[in-house]
Each structure stands twice: as structure tokens, then as C-alpha cells.
Amino acid sequence: MGTKRSTEPSPKGPLAHIKVVDLTHARAGPTCVRVLADHGAQVTQVTRVDLGSFDSIFLGSDQQNLHRNKRSIAINLRSEAGCDVLYRLVRIADVIVENFRADVKHRLKVDYETLRGLNSRIVYGSISGFGQDGPYAKRAGVDQIAQGVGGLMTITGPPGGGPWRVGIPVADLCAGLYLAHGIMAALIERERSGEGQWVQTSLLEAMIAMLDFQATRWLIDREVPPQAGNDHPTAFPMGVFSTKDGMINIAASSNRMFKDFLKIIGAEEIAQDRRFTTPKSRAQHRSELRARVEDRTQQFTAGALIEALNAVGVPSGPILSIDQVFSDPQGTSPWRRLSRAHSLAS
């Protein structure tokens, strides 16, 4: 008889054997380390004796959010005694994560070359605003600056609305997630080579990577993507539509889903209009199509239309406020699983 492997997560997490020294501040770096901590890594957060201006802007609840599952120690890295304490931690660590500017980490003597001299197995993770070299390398970088330099603000918001910031710190979060991914890959590689390495990303690199097909539209098709508001950039009808009692999301871009969508709203004759026979032509004539279908969607309540569309395989859903997300029966399910995994890891 074979043994059946348990599907339950380990009480300590898959990274329980990994020691991490966290030198990060603000959001991108702590996001990376939070991923490692949530997987059970033994994290020691090094805080500054003089709390920096970045950290002072965050609410207390957000500090708990960013630094959960960590232990902390306050060290003055500008002093010789403080450096000695840090170096003792480095000698027994597996991972160091930092998001200092290049000149700062060299001045504090916490750069990769210095710390690798103490521990050749160290995986050293760095997040910067714009990269470790290049013309912007010495600039400080924060999320909204990266959203602007990375092009995201020109494809967000309503057409002609001017630059719009995304509602979450997407550059920070994605840079942190990319770095956590790279660190875990480097730990796996270290099992073969026995050597650590320097893993790097930046807010700008993460932002450009997240452009995905918008970047492809320029690099291959030489098309500068415009703002599309709540509509999908290239497919329609896929976006926000009005009902009797509010706005909902509908995604009926394929030919099959489009026909089923029209059948549900009682507008099957629209499919015969030559302007709306293909996905491309529907996108080209989206304003005319929107006017015709919204005349029908407004005859339904939001709940009734969402149910009817999902019953025939046309994706649709409500647009919830944050408090509604955490009271929604489906939205609370992954949150409960995530909370349970965090409690097991800790």
C-alpha cells in the first residue's frame, strides 16, 4: 500500500528552515518579506532607531498588515556596534532583503559584496525604484512615480480623462511579489550550487512587466494603447453596465457569449447588425453597441441579471465596496482559508 500525502499545510510552513533578515521599509520590500514570513520563514525585521518618514505615513493597522509573522530588533546601522549586531545575524541567515538606494547601502556597508564576504550562501534580495544602474538608479522611487514612468497612468481611467492612478499600490505590490518569487527560485538553485546570489527587481521593472499585452500592442503592433475606462481595452461588451438598481460587470466578448447575452436581455436582433457580428467590429463600434444593450440591461435588477447571465455561462458579477467584499459569502471563503494558513505558519 502506498502512503497518502496529507493535503493539510505544514504547521510551520515550507520555509520554516529559512532565516531571513529584513532591512526593508515602505511597502514593496515588506511585501516581499511578508510572503516569505507567511510561508513560515524565520524573519528578523531590523528597524531603524529613528523611525523614518516613509514608515510614519502608514497607519498602525497597516504596519501590522505589512510586518505580520516577524520578530523585530532596532539597530543603529550608522554605528560600529550596530553593524556588528547585523553582521552576526547575516552570518547565520539564508536571505537578506533590502530596498535602500545604491549609495545608501554602500554607505551603511550592507551591500551585497560586503555581506557575501560574511556568508557566501546568502541570497540577497534588492528592490529599488528604478534599478541598480542606469540614469535613474540614484533616484528615490515610490509607487505613484513608478505608475507614471511605467506608463500605467496613461491607460487607466476614462478616455480623455488625463492620467489616472490605479487604486492600489500596484508597483509596490508587484515588485514585492516578483522579488519573493526570485528569492525562492534562488534558494532552490542554492541547493545545487551551494552558493547564494543577488536577486534584483525594481518598481519600474515590475510596472513594465505588468503592462503585459498593452506593451505588446506597442512593441509588436506599434499601437499606443489609449485609456478605455471601465471597458476592456480590446474586447466588447466587457465592462460596466447599468441595471435598474446599480452597476454590474459583464464579460460577453466571445461570439457564443455575446449571443447568449443578447438572448438573456431580449435583444437577439442586435446580432444581425453588421457592425456587431465579430469581436473586432463590436470593439470598433462599442459606443453604439453600449447604447443599445444598456437600454435592455436597465430593465433588470442587478441580482436578477447576474444570476441569469451566469446560468448560461456569461461571466457577470456585482461591484462591491470593501466592506461588502468581506461580508460576501464567496469573498469570505478565501479570506478564511488565508487566515487559517497564516495561523498555521505562525
Catalytic positions, written as ranges: 172
DSSP 8-state secondary structure symbol assigned to residue 317: E
Round to whole Å and give the CA distance between 99 and 159: 35
Using CA atoms of 73, 200, 207, 321 in order, give the dihedral in degrees to the nearest 10.
-30
CA angle 53, 122, 139 (to 5 degrees): 35
Angle between helix 255-264 and helix 302-311 axes, rounded to 10 deg: 140
Distance CA 30, CA 63 (A): 10
Q: What is the dihedral of CA 161, 163, 164, 170, to 10 degrees?
A: 150
CB 298 within 8 A of CB 246: no
Q: How far is CA 304 from the centre of its chain?
A: 32
- Show the cell assigned to 1: 500500500
User: Are 95 and 41 contacting, i.e. CB atoms less than 8 angstroms apart?
Assistant: yes
- What's the CA gap between 288 and 334, in Å, rounded? 39
Quickly count: other Cβ atoms within 10 Å of residue 250's Cβ. Answer: 24
Residue 96's φ and ψ, nearest 5 degrees, are -120, 135
Residue type, 2: G
- Judge contact between 74 and 52, C-beta under 8 A: no
Strand residues in 173-216 grouped as ranges (E): 198-202
CB atoms within 10 A of CB 101: 17
